[in-house]
Amino acid sequence: MPLEILTIPCLSDNYAFLAHDASTGDTALIDAPEAGPILTALADRGWTLSHVLLTHHHWDHIDALPEILAAHPAQVVGADADAHRLPPLDLAVVEGDSFSIGGETVQVLDVSGHTIGHLAFYMPASKAVFTADSLMALGCGRLFEGTPRQMWQSLSKLAALPDDTIVYSGHEYTEANARFAETIEPGNPDLQSRIVAIARARAVGEATVPSTLALEKATNPFLRAQSQEIQQVLNLQGADLEDVFTEVRKRKDIF
């Protein structure tokens, strides 16, 4: 059976996630932005935390961990490459590693770009990938540490997952990302439909995360370097796809 996955709004625009295996009781937290909402969600459901999966070292993904572990001692999993600036890890992992949460196998992907050592956690049986600030809803993370090449390689790796994969990203940035996406691919009908759906959701306070990989591939400009319209808008017709992505990221940085 697939894991039950709960989206938890935290801080002003962060998301954490709980992934629960009903058969074993194992429950994993993906990232720890704010203790209160996470502890409340666990208590409301009577779940006990067994794992914490950390995607990267930024404060808004790890700062609540001590308070959460005080209430729920759990195995902390994070990148071996990032261990020097993450909270203490019980399991340090690298790309290609896997481990189990209940009956679910979790595959580790290196998606460096936003930071060096940023991880994504892919759960194929549950058709879920937790991408934090790498692939985001209609966007990708700003390149604070990595290069455009690294981020393009990371996004290409994620784009190769099955189209029905559900993408659990780390922030509610979708509305702002949509405004940018429309400037470089206004003729994309899938994007226009998504913009309408985003506006309706946000008008009533609904989250736009998670999304599906198929939807991201159809609408997210950071996955659409092959789009002829985007290439024309950027005056990069026929250019290497990595160069198109680099220009998209550069324009988003100043948007």
Spatial CA neighbour of 244 closest among 145, 100, 148, 114:
148
Annotation-wise, does 171 bind a ligand? yes
The C-alpha angle with vertex 220 and arms to 216 and 222, in degrees rounded to 5, equals 120
Place of tokens 């393009």: 152
Spatial CA neighbour of 99 closest among 70, 68, 133, 75:
75
Residues whose CB is less than 8 angstroms from the CB of residue 188 and which lie 6 or more positions away in sequence, other chains included: 218, 219, 227, 229
Please report, for residues 56, 60, 81, 154, 175, the alpha-carbon distance to residue 84 in angstroms, rounded to integers and kept in the order given: 11, 17, 8, 22, 35
Annotation-wise, does 118 bind a ligand? no
Annotation-wise, does 57 bind a ligand? no
Spatial CA neighbour of 42 closest among 74, 14, 11:
74
Check: CB of residue 126 under 8 Å from CB of residue 19: yes
Q: Report the C-alpha gap between 82 and 93 in whole angstroms.
A: 10
Annotation-wise, does 190 bind a ligand? no
Annotation-wise, does 114 bind a ligand? yes
Q: How many angstroms from the chain centroid is the CA of residue 190?
A: 21
Check: CB of residue 169 under 8 Å from CB of residue 137: yes
Max CA separation in the chain (angstroms): 55
Annotated binding site for Zn(2+): 56, 58, 60-61, 114, 133, 171
